[in-house]
Structure formats: C-alpha cells, structure tokens
Structure 1
Amino acid sequence: MIKVGLTGWGDHPDVYSPTSKKTEKLQDYSGHFPVVELDSTFYAIQPERNIRKWIGETPDGFGFITKAYQGMTGHHRGRLPYESEEEMFDLFRLSIGPMIEAGKLPMVLAQYPPWFDCTKENVGTLRRLRALLEGIDVAVEFRHQSWYSEKYREGTLQFLREQNFIHSVCDEPQAGEGSIPFIPVATRKDKTLVRLHGRNTAGWKADGRDDKKWREVRYLYDYNDDELAGILDGVRKIEEQSDQVYVIFNNNSGGHAAENAKRFMKLAGIDPQGPGGRQLDLFGKEEW
C-alpha cells in the first residue's frame, strides 16, 4: 500500500476550503491526505497540549511522520537547552507518547545533516539513537553521499536492517557529497519512507547561513509527469519489498507539493482523498 502526504499542513493553499479559518488547516489537509510530515518537532520538542490538539483535529487512520528534534540528530548549533542527552530524548518520547497511544505515529524521522558522514563514530551515534528510542519505529535519512558509496552501500543497508531502522529513500538533486542517490530498497518488511525534495540543484547548493533565502529556493521544484512516473517505478519496487510505502512531497518552496502529490496519486491509481473524505482535482478545485 502506498500512502501519500506532504511536509506540514500550514502552507498548501490548494487543500484549504475557501471558508476555512487558519486554525482549520489541519482538518482540511486530512481530508485530502492520510499522512503528514510533522516538522515543528524538529525545531522544538512540542508540549503535550499541541500533540493532543493535532490528534483531535484528525480522523482515525491519519498519521504523523514526526521529525526528530534537531538536537537529537546533530543539527543544533550552540548549547542544547537540556541538562543531558538522556533528558532531551526522554522529553521527546513523552511528547510523542499520545500519538503512539492514538495509533497515529507511523514513525519518527531522524534526518542527519550533510556533515554526518559514514564513519565508525557516526555508526556509534546511530546505535545510541536506536537505544534511546527503543520500541519506536525510526526512519533514518542521510544527507552525505558516503553512506551510499560503492564501498559502504551494502553495509549501510545491512546496518539499517540489523538495527530495525526504516530506510528513508530520497529523490533530491545530485549535487555532490551533500546529496544521496535514489536507492529503492526497503530495510523493513512492514514500512518504508520515500521523501521527494525536488531536483533544484542550484537551490540545494544555496548558502544555508541565509536561512530565509535558503528555504525559499532549496525545495523550489515542480515535478513533471515523466519524473513522477519514474519515481513511481521506484516506489513500486519498494512496494514489492515493504507492506506500506509512505511517500512525502517536500518540494514546497514554490507551493508545488500538493498538486504534484495529487498527480502522483492519479498515476498510481490511488483514491484522491484522505480519511477525512475530500478530493482535489488537478486544477485545485475541491469536490465535496
């Protein structure tokens, strides 16, 4: 089974009802897609009230692919606002607990930065993450090409299998060592994650120190039908290896994600509505 969704629910005008309020965006979104990537958890460990609010705003069958807090994956700069690594992980686990109880946490996404290369030390870091998040389904996404080099590729995939990690398969610009190839291989039989970042090579290489400009261009891309068909071929290969394939469109710098996702769903023959029961045709018109 293939489940398609987008990164976040707050920046996809195509999926909102004209009469909806700002506070109703998640309800509208869940009428179109069965899953969303929750990225606010990357910037801060969320208070329980936020998590319970989002759970209550979504129907049964909806899922949140929850991004690991940046301090857990080496992105955070400066001193962490926690007394210890254990405290940070414990608070994160408490935060996502209600999602687990509600059956709305397909996985936690641990996305590592481009400087996290394939070394013995970093393999140890992954082992520690696995121990600290024991009992939780975790997808690992790399951003350094060394993990998929000819020398290490099979070892990387085997390590993910042994540690019971979900493989995050990515479509992204091939822009040197800070990007990874599309490797349609599952490391778990039950679920696999596919994230589509677009193919904007210039934007991918943009200087991240100018955070606002970087976010405006990094994921600026509109997939054409041939590209989506090629991705679907890869997703079908993964589907042969894994019961559920979660496909997340992250190419939203220009607002293309929702329309691209709907086109992909049409190509794949997937019912174009979420558990909330709304549809969106290719021209952005909702059908109620």
Structure 2
Amino acid sequence: MIAVGLAGWGDHDSLYPGRTAAKDKLKAYAGQFSVVEMDSSFYAVQPPDRMARYAEETPAGFRFVVKAYQGMTGHLRGKPYYEKDSEMYSAFRDSLAPLREAGKLAAALFQYPPWFDCTLENVRLLRETKKRMEGFPCAIEFRHQSWFEAEYREKTLAFMRDAGWIHSVCDEPQAGIGSVPVVPVATTADLTLVRMHGRNVGGWNQSGNANWREVRYLYDYSLDELSEWQERVRGLLGQCSAVAVIFNNNSGGHAAGNAKQFMKLLGLPVQEPPLEEHPEQLDLFNL
C-alpha cells in the first residue's frame, strides 16, 4: 500500500475553496489525501482531546505522521516546558494514544538536527528514546551525513532494524554534512516513510537568515524527478507492506501539486478539491 500526503493541512491554499474555515480544512484535506504529517506537535505536545477530534474528523484508513516534540530531538532552545524528561515523554504518549486507539497513527517522527552525528552517546540516546516510546510506531530521520557514510551505513541500518525504528528516507539537497543521501532501504516490515524536502541546494543551509524557512523548502519537482521516486517507492514496497510519502516542499506552494502529480504517476486515484460555490447573483432587471 502506498499513501501520499503533505506536511500539514492548513497552509495548502490550492486544496480549499476560498471560504473554507480553518476548522473544516482537515476534513477537506482528508477527502484528497490518505496521510498527513502533523508538524504542530513539534512546537507543542497536542492535547489528547484535540487528537481524538482529529481522529473523528477523518475517514477510516486515514493516517497521521506526528512529528516528535522539539524537546525530544535536541531542537529546543530556551527554557524547557517540562521539568523532567519522563513528564515530557508521558505527555507525548498520552497525546498519541487517541490516534493509536483509532488505528490512525502511522508513526511518531523523530527528526534529528544537522548537528546530531553518529556517536556512541547519540546511539545510546536513540536506544533510550525508543525504550521510552515502547508500544508506539516510531520513525527516525537523520540530518547529519555521518550516519550514512561508508563506514557506518550498514551499521546504522542494522541498528534501526534491531531497535524497530521505521526509516524516514529523504529526498533533500546534497549540501554537505548537514544533509543525508537517498538511502531507499526499509528497516521495518510494516512501514517506510519517504519525505520529499525539495532540492534547493542554495537555501538548505541558510538557517542564519531571517527568511530561511521560506527558502529552505522552495522547490518544484519536475516530472523526471518524480519519476525517479516512482521506481524507488515501488522498490521500497517490495521490502515492506506500506510506504507513506510526504511532500514538504511548500515554501512556494508546490507540495500539493507535486503530490498529486506523483499519485498520478503511481496510478493512484486523485481527488480534486470541490469547486467554490458562488451565491447566485440578484438579477435587478428580472424581479
């Protein structure tokens, strides 16, 4: 099974009629895609009742990839919200529970920063994290090249298999030590995650600039580039039972269009957004 979706559901203007209220966007999104990545959870652990509502608003078969809270992956700057790590993980597990119980949790995504390199200390941290998340499907995404250098590539993949980490395979700019190569290898039997970040080499390492988030994911995939992934995804499907592909290249609004192009390449049904309804205009001369 192949599922295709986007990072977030609120910022993709092409998916919604002009007057779609924010509270109605998830339902409209779920009529067009079968998976979504939730990124609000990175900034704050979401309340369980909100997650339960998301589960209720989406159809059977719909799945969520929930990004791990920033305090768990070394991104947090400033005063921590939680006094203890145990409290933080407990809150995150409680948040995920309604989705898991509804059968709608694809994975919790632990995306580590570009400075999280392949060291014994970090491997131990990953083991501890996976232990804390026992019972929940967890995907891991690296942003430091050392994990997939020739010396460690097979050891990294073996570690992920042994620990039960779902592999988040990346398409991203090849821009030095803070980016990883394409490694289309499944590490669990149930799922592989693919995240399409674009290939904006010039904008990838510009985190010091005020508008870096607008530039980093500014990319429009060509048909040839999407065709490369058509074969890779089918290859991954030969290694596991499901592949979830998330398009994250939305700085310029390209993610939704690229995702639907990709679905067509894969032969998946594509649902277009409903046409915007316009109120019938009053005919002043026919009263």
Figure out how many residues of one structure are paired with residues of the other and give that number: 276
What does the per-residue CA deviation read over 1:176-208, in whole Å, with 9 as the maximum and x for residues that have no partner? Answer: 000000111000111100000000011111124
Matches within 5 A, 1:42-81: 42-81=42-81
Residues in 2 aligned to 1:184 and 1:55: alpha-carbon distance in whole angstroms: 30
Contact kept, 8 Å, 2:17 with 2:274, in 1: the verdict is: no
Contact kept, 8 Å, 1:17 with 1:28, in 2: the verdict is: no
Select which of 265, 268, 275 maps to 1:270: 268
Judged with a 3 Å threshold, the aligned counterparts in structure 2 of structure 1 residues 175 and 286 are, in CA distance, closer, same or farther, namely farther
Q: Which amino acid aligns with 2:16?
A: Y
Q: Which amino acid aligns with 2:34?
A: P
Contact kept, 8 Å, 1:37 with 1:66, in 2: the verdict is: yes
SS in 2 for 1:246: strand
Deviation at 1:117, TM superposition (A): 0.2
Residues in 1 aligned to 2:170 and 2:267: alpha-carbon distance in whole angstroms: 22
Matches within 5 A, 1:273-288: 279-280=271-272
Residue equivalent to 2:223: 225
SS in 2 for 1:82: coil
Structure 2 unaligned segments of length 5 or more: list them.
277-287
What does the per-residue CA deviation read over 1:242-264, in whole Å, with 9 as the maximum and x for residues that have no partner? Answer: 11000000000000000000000
Residue equivalent to 2:21: 21
Judged with a 3 Å threshold, the aligned counterparts in structure 2 of structure 1 residues 206 and 25 are, in CA distance, closer, same or farther, namely same
Matches within 5 A, 1:1-288: 1-208=1-208, 210=210, 213-272=211-270, 279-280=271-272
SS in 2 for 1:187: coil
Deviation at 1:19, TM superposition (A): 4.4
Contact kept, 8 Å, 2:16 with 2:274, in 1: the verdict is: no
Q: Which amino acid aligns with 2:17?
A: S
SS in 1 for 2:105: coil
Residues in 2 aligned to 1:66 and 1:20: alpha-carbon distance in whole angstroms: 24
Q: Which amino acid aligns with 1:268?
A: L
What does the per-residue CA deviation read over 1:73-113, in whole Å, with 9 as the maximum and x for residues that have no partner? Answer: 11101331112111100011011111111111011000000
The percent identity for this pair of structures is: 57
Q: Which amino acid aligns with 2:35?
A: V
Residues in 1 aligned to 2:207 and 2:87: alpha-carbon distance in whole angstroms: 32
Deviation at 1:214, TM superposition (A): 1.1
Q: Which amino acid aligns with 1:111?
A: Q
Structure 1 unaligned segments of length 5 or more: list them.
273-278
Residues in 2 aligned to 1:37 and 1:253: alpha-carbon distance in whole angstroms: 16
Deviation at 1:130, TM superposition (A): 0.5
Q: Which amino acid aligns with 1:28?
A: A
Residues in 1 aligned to 2:275 and 2:170: alpha-carbon distance in whole angstroms: 30
Residues in 1 aligned to 2:63 and 2:268: alpha-carbon distance in whole angstroms: 17
Q: Which amino acid aligns with 2:221?
A: Y
Q: Which amino acid aligns with 1:164?
A: G
Of stretches 49-58 and 110-119 in structure 1, the one that deviates more from structure 2 is 49-58
Judged with a 3 Å threshold, the aligned counterparts in structure 2 of structure 1 residues 286 and 4 are, in CA distance, closer, same or farther, namely farther
Residue equivalent to 1:275: none
SS in 2 for 1:56: helix
Residues in 2 aligned to 1:285 and 1:52: alpha-carbon distance in whole angstroms: 26
Residues in 1 aligned to 2:24 and 2:116: alpha-carbon distance in whole angstroms: 38
Residues in 2 aligned to 1:182 and 1:141: alpha-carbon distance in whole angstroms: 12
Contact kept, 8 Å, 2:194 with 2:245, in 1: the verdict is: yes
Of stretches 53-62 and 262-271 in structure 1, the one that deviates more from structure 2 is 53-62
Judged with a 3 Å threshold, the aligned counterparts in structure 2 of structure 1 residues 286 and 248 are, in CA distance, closer, same or farther, namely farther
Larger radius of gyration between Structure 1 and Structure 2: 2
